[in-house]
Amino acid sequence: MASTPAASALPEHADATAASASATPPTASVTAPASNSPEGVAPAVAAESSPEQASAGEDAAEGSEGEADDDSAAAVEGFDSTEGDEGEASVSSTGTPELQYTSDLSEEELKRRWKEDPASLGSVSVGFVQSGRLVNSVRFPESPDWTVVSPEKAWTTSETVDYLTQVIRELRTRFPKAPLLRVNQISAKDGGYIRPHKSHQNGRDVDLGFYYPDGNPIRARAREKYIDLTMNWALVRALVTLSDVQVILVDRRVQKVLYDYALKNGEDKAWLDSLFHAGENSIIKHARGHRDHFHVRFFNPRAQELGRRLAPLLAMQPEHNIAMHRVRSGDTLGAIAMRYNSSVNSIRGANRIRGTLLHIGQVLSVPLRGPCTQCPVPPPVVVPPRRLPALAKVDAQPEAKPAVQAKVDVPPASPAPADAPPPVQAQADVQPAVHTASDAPATVQAQVSAPAAEQAKAQVQPAVVLTPQSPPSVQEKTEPPAAAPAKDEPPTTVVNSPSP
């Protein structure tokens, strides 16, 4: 009896039953082989939908809270009509350092800890958001400050938890009476594919519900007409300024109302344009099926860099040595097993497949027998500086030194009163303000011992302070005031004194 061969995945137009079977869940296929097919080989029922349908159903309604949007391609004046891609690029800029965020771990130490104590490394984000895994994941915590909608699909990294909880608590501090933010689906416990998402595979993507005036989601297609603009803009602003957010995916019609609201309420237009209208460099991008929630992706510098460094070491921990494969036209289980150095039975077991049928678009977990030579490795991680508004940048600059400000605001010199003390005394009284920075304690003591009335009169001659001159000796400053000199015999110790 021949071993059971793998079934092939055929294109959508290859079978007349495709339309009726397209709603079948990817991993629930148990169709028996057709009687006129070769032994053990079954023609696949194509389940791949069009890109528009797949994207619309992926994140629909904040994780199954509403309906898909069938007119998301509608143009919005002033906003880019191109579609945002939920995947990640595999190309990095040249000259990117290999290590920036895990340089505390040598290669030897990383290998030892991965072999002996993987949990000591903390959360690890492996691969890409559309083809990745999670190691040492943490569940997003419950709290009175937010609502976790799907706890079983709210596994993530420590860095994502830190970013998002900081943002939410900042909003709760500013708006204590606002409704609770709904944290929807993030990732599965071990990462990988979770239905119906294309991304959400390595703990960095989070779906956040909109804020509504009464806190309850409104099940209407045009959500932008009903959302709380104040709270939703405050959320977007906090995500951009308080966390290392990589991208925020949301329908362009929602973008427009948020942009208009922010501009009307005094936000800097150039800064807003850098968020909404910077093309590929925009942080806020359009995506179909995102008219009712924010899809937020965070940078996870440490978790991502660890995942990149651990890629060749995953075989040391077989339970984590898994690749993700999306079925394409012509794929068979046997071909997939050969490609990844796996086996048909291990692939079936990992995906709970009892039959031989594959669906185009189905995502399979493929256990590996050794290092994956076919798995793409993400580029080195580079977290760009946060995009802060102009006002925040000004506020972040150091304040001017008080001494500089004092010199700028010095009033013009005024004539000394008739009964004012001689210029020598005025210099002695005022000079400590110039020489305090030069550490002349004796001069300071001399000023303290001077009569208060004479000090007050000396303060009206700041011009003397700004006149460059050699400081008198300490002995000259500590001597008692001399008698007023005669008009025809000006004292020889006075420098730059006014004429009688």
Establish if 133 belongs to a structural domain: yes
Residue 64 in 3-state DSSP?
A: helix
The Cα-based distances of 125 to 43, 212, 289, 304 in angstroms read 36, 33, 26, 5
Neighbour tally for 115: CB within 10 Å: 11
Strand partners, 294: 208
Distance CA 109, CA 360 (A): 42
Who's near 467: CB < 8 A, 6+ residues apart? 496
Report the pLDDT value the prediction gives residue 266, as an integer from 0 to 100.
95
Domain that holds residue 129: 55-68+100-306
From the number of C-beta atoms within 10 Å of its C-beta (0-12, 13-18, 19+), residue 187 rates as buried
Quick one: tokens of 183?
A: 């944290």
Whether residue 246 sits in one domain with residue 188: yes
Question: b/e map of 228-244 (b: 16 or more CB within 10 Å)?
Answer: bbebbbbbbbbbbebbb
Nearest in space to 434 (alpha carbons), one of 467, 397, 389 = 467
Whether residue 338 sits in one domain with residue 287: no
Whether residue 177 sits in one domain with residue 250: yes
CATH number, position 259: 3.30.1380.10
**For the ranges 69-78, 249-258, 353-362, which has the lowest average pLDDT?**
69-78
Who's near 95: CB < 8 A, 6+ residues apart? none
Distance CA 463, CA 469 (A): 12
Q: List, in sequence order, the alpha helices (H) in 311-420.
A: 333-339, 344-351, 390-396, 402-408
Whether residue 344 sits in one domain with residue 219: no
- Between 239 and 61, residue with greater pLDDT: 239
Please confirm whether the linkage preceding 196 is cis (ω < 30° from 0): yes
> What is the CA 118 to chain-centroid distance, rounded?
26
Whether residue 239 sits in one domain with residue 177: yes
The Cα-based distances of 433 to 430, 447, 466, 497 in angstroms read 6, 10, 10, 18
- Tally of domains within the chain: 2
What mean pLDDT is predicted for residues 323-332? 86
The tens digit of pLDDT for each residue in 20-38 reads 333 333 333 333 333 333 3
- Between 108 and 467, residue with greater pLDDT: 108
pLDDT tier at 461 (50, 70, 90 boundaries)? very low
The conformation of residue 8, written as its DSSP 8-state character, comes to: B
Quick one: tokens of 349?
A: 């077991």
Whether residue 116 sits in one domain with residue 25: no
Report the pLDDT value the prediction gives residue 71, as an integer from 0 to 100.
57
Establish if 38 belongs to a structural domain: yes
Query: Is 70 exceeded by the pLDDT of residue 73?
Result: no
Query: Is 80 exceeded by the pLDDT of residue 200?
Result: yes
Query: Is 80 exceeded by the pLDDT of residue 235?
Result: yes
Top-confidence range, 206-220, 247-261, 453-467: 247-261
Report the pLDDT value the prediction gives residue 305, as an integer from 0 to 100.
97
Query: Is 90 exceeded by the pLDDT of residue 453?
Result: no
Establish if 485 belongs to a structural domain: no
Whether residue 219 sits in one domain with residue 163: yes
Distance CA 473, CA 442 (A): 10
Contact 135, 155 (CB under 8 A): no
Nearest in space to 22 (alpha carbons), one of 363, 362, 366, 353 = 362
Establish if 415 belongs to a structural domain: no
Establish if 456 belongs to a structural domain: no
Distance CA 47, CA 21 (A): 7
Neighbour tally for 41: CB within 10 Å: 16
Specify the pairing of strand 284-285 against strand 245-249: parallel
Whether residue 355 sits in one domain with residue 299: no
pTM recorded for the entire structure: 0.64
Top-confidence range, 81-85, 273-277, 335-339, 439-443: 273-277
Whether residue 230 sits in one domain with residue 122: yes
Residue 133 in 3-state DSSP?
A: strand
Quick one: tokens of 251?
A: 């329908």
Which residue among 379, 396, 413 closes a domain?
379
Distance CA 265, CA 104 (A): 45
Whether residue 211 sits in one domain with residue 190: yes
Which residue among 379, 407, 423 closes a domain?
379
Average pLDDT over all residues of the chain? 72
Whether residue 141 sits in one domain with residue 269: yes
From the number of C-beta atoms within 10 Å of its C-beta (0-12, 13-18, 19+), residue 1 rates as exposed
**For the ranges 144-158, 250-264, 406-420, which has the lowest average pLDDT?**
406-420
The tens digit of pLDDT for each residue in 133-160 reads 899 999 999 999 999 999 999 999 999 9
Whether residue 342 sits in one domain with residue 237: no
Distance CA 84, CA 74 (A): 14
Establish if 499 belongs to a structural domain: no
Helix axes 441-449, 423-435, angle to 10 degrees: 130
The conformation of residue 284, written as its DSSP 8-state character, comes to: E
Establish if 16 belongs to a structural domain: yes
> What is the CA 152 to chain-centroid distance, rounded?
24
Establish if 220 belongs to a structural domain: yes
pLDDT tier at 267 (50, 70, 90 boundaries)? very high
pLDDT tier at 84 (50, 70, 90 boundaries)? low
Which residue among 280, 306, 332 closes a domain?
306
Q: How much of the chain, in percent, has pLDDT values that exceed 90?
A: 40
Report the pLDDT value the prediction gives residue 94, as an integer from 0 to 100.
55
Report the pLDDT value the prediction gives residue 86, as an integer from 0 to 100.
58
Quick one: tokens of 373?
A: 């030579």
Quick one: tokens of 283?
A: 């942080």
Nearest in space to 122 (alpha carbons), one of 154, 166, 152, 160 = 160
Question: b/e map of 318-343 (b: 16 or more CB within 10 Å)?
Answer: eebbbbbbbbeeebbbbebbeebbbb
Specify the pairing of strand 322-326 against strand 363-367: antiparallel
Question: b/e map of 303-313 (b: 16 or more CB within 10 Å)?
Answer: bbbbbbbbbeb
